[in-house]
Amino acid sequence: MKNRSWAFLAGGLLVALLLAGVVSNYASSHPDGLDSSLLKGCTVDADDNIVGGSCPAQQARDHELGDSPLADYGVRGVENSFLSTGLSGVLGVLLTFAVGAGGFWLLRRRGATTPAEGDVETSADDRRHADANG
Amino acid sequence: METLAMHISNGIIDGPVAAVFAALALAALTGCVLRGRRDLDDRLAPMAGLVAAFIFAVQMLNFPIFTAGVSGHLLGGALAAMLVGPWVGALCVSVVLVVQALVFGDGGVAMLGLNITNMALLGTAAAYVLIAVLLRVLPRTPAGLAVTGFVAAMLSVVVASQGFVLQYWLGGTTDLGGNLASLAGTMAGVHLLIGIGEGLITATTVVTVAKVRPDLVYALRGLRPATVPTVPAVGGVR
């Protein structure tokens, strides 16, 4: 890859890390669209815990891996909730990038005869050609 | 802090239906791998990893919607479809959902097929159909790209939400007493509002990437000659 592709990747990752590591602490903690729809019929308290009524959400069971060290977007053992959420976000971004980029790299088509446009090194000839036309 | 879950939890849909959707999702993802490989070259592979990481990050950012006490978050199908295409895009969203289910305890592992079907497959597919249509009729300007991203993202979220309603109809664990239409209406309404947020995030991100690196926007491939405006010709000789 050319340098500017690396720069774009690095810049994009930095933005993702800041969003997941810092901004995530300012996210709304109310139930999302799915959860709130499943809570219809139940009454909830200020912390969104079910206190009465009947609704689909009451059937929810524990997660198989609910005791994972990063469960519920926190790092187990980190008391400070700002740090805990932020750190879990940073780890999540790095892990997702590693799994995604690694997996896609293994899957990519190799020995391609049509190199990607942005990475093509324009030859001097091509450039003269372009200048003449432009 | 209370338990934070954004996707379908265990126990909401019964086991057999969840298993059927797991098989369905696996088959569809295999198709995405086979077809997506054609798009995946040395340049797109790391970009697609970045798209997955970005979607993970933005999914953490629940935003309030106009209805009190309810939040929404990005699903990412439209964003992925615009940046890396529908096939690789569906795989990007799936990577996020798998990481969330296996590492962050979000979305039951047994429910993974249901969540992938709604958000990675239905959401991305709906978005891509809309993108293909809109980019053909709208002007090839940043504004046209923004409107495409906004509309495709907003409607894809509503489509994804109805995927869940279908699954609930097939295997919901609570008898709604014939009130499925009410669930469908609630889901559609709240996700239309969430869709506004999804649309704004998608449009902003895609326009930003298009400004910095237009060659990295999949949806603009093959359209590029027209994105370079030949304005001086207009109104010349008359």
How would you class A1 by CB atoms within 10 Å of its CB: exposed for 0-12, middle for 13-18, buried for 19 or more? middle
Highest mean pLDDT among A42-46, B3-7, B203-207: B203-207
Instruction: Give me the DSSP letters along B76-141.
Output: -HHHHHHHH-HHHHHHHHHHHHHHHHHHS--S-STTHHHHIIIIIIIHHHHHHHHHHHHHHHS-SS
Q: What's the domain range around A90?
A: 3-58+70-107
Subunit contact B54:A24, Cβ cutoff 8 A: no
**C-beta atoms of B102 and A59 within 8 A:** no
Q: Does the residue A83 lie in any domain?
A: yes
Token readout for A35 is 């959860």
A12 within domain boundaries: yes
DSSP A41-100: TEEE-TT--EEEE--GGGG----TTTTSTTGGGS-TT---HHHHHHHHHHHHHHHHHHHH
Q: Is the ipTM of this complex over 0.95?
A: no
Number of folded domains that form chain B: 1
- Residues of A (17-76) whose Cβ lies below 8 Å from B: 17, 19-20, 23-24, 27-38, 40, 44, 47-49, 54-66, 68, 70-74
pLDDT, tens only, B68-100:
789 999 999 999 999 999 999 999 999 999 999
Of B44, B71, B172, the CB nearest to A32: B71
What is the CA angle B161-B82-B126, rounded to 5? 30
Q: Cα distance from A95 to chain B (closest Cα, Å)?
A: 8
- What's the Cα-to-Cα distance from A38 to each of A43, A134, B160, rounded to whole Å? 12, 60, 16
Residue A41 has pLDDT above 50, yes or no: yes
Q: Could you tell me if residue B127 is inside a domain?
A: yes
Q: A27 lies in a domain?
A: yes
Q: Residue B101: what are its φ and ψ, rounded to 5°?
A: -75, -40
Instruction: Tell me what the mean pLDDT of segment A85-99 comes to.
Output: 98
Between A96 and A124, residue with greater pLDDT = A96
A134 in a domain, yes or no? no
What value does the mean pLDDT take over residues B146-153? Answer: 98
CB contact under 8 A, A37 and B187: yes
Give the span between the Cα atoms of B192 and B209, in whole angstroms. Answer: 25
Of B44, B49, B60, the CB nearest to A97: B49
Does this model's pTM top 0.90? no
Residue B230 has pLDDT above 70, yes or no: no
At B78, which CATH number? 1.10.1760.20
Full residue range of the structural domain in which residue B57 is found: 15-220
Q: What are phi and psi of B140, to 5 degrees?
A: -85, 65
- Is the residue at B23 inside a domain? yes
Q: Which residues pair with B172 in a beta bridge?
A: B13
For A4, the token pair is: 């500017």
Summarised one tens digit per residue, pLDDT across range B176-221 is 877 899 999 999 999 999 999 999 999 999 999 999 999 999 999 8
CB pair distance less than 8 Å for B63 and A28? yes
pLDDT bucket at A15, cuts 50 / 70 / 90: very high
CA dist A14 and A26 (Å) reads 18
Assess if residue A18 is contained within a domain. yes
Please judge whether A61 and B11 are an interchain contact, meaning their C-beta atoms are less than 8 angstroms apart.
yes
**Closest-CA residue in chain B for A45?**
B69
Residue A120 lies inside a defined structural domain of this protein: no
Our count of domains for chain A comes to 1
Which residue out of B42, B165, B212 would a mutagenesis test of the A interface target, given it has the greatest number of A Cβ atoms within 10 Å? B42
A18: exposed, middle or buried (Cβ count in 10 Å: 0-12, 13-18, 19+): middle
| Predicted pLDDT at A119 | 46
Q: Count of H helices and E strands in chain B?
A: 9, 2
Residue A42 inside a domain? The answer is: yes
Once rounded to an integer, what is the mean pLDDT over residues B120-143?
A: 95
CB contact under 8 A, B173 and A56: yes
Residue for token pair 């293909």: B132
Neighbours of A64 (CB within 10 A): 15
Task: Give B71's contacts (C-beta < 8 A, 6+ positions apart).
Answer: A27, A28, A29, A30, A31, A32, A33, B62, B63, B64, B65
Residue of B nearest to A65 (CA): B105
Domain membership flag for residue B88: yes
Facing residue for B99 by CB, picked from A1, A28, A96: A96
Ranges of H-type helices in B141-179: 142-171
H-run or E-run covering B63: strand B63-64
Confidence of residue B223 (pLDDT cuts 50, 70, 90): low
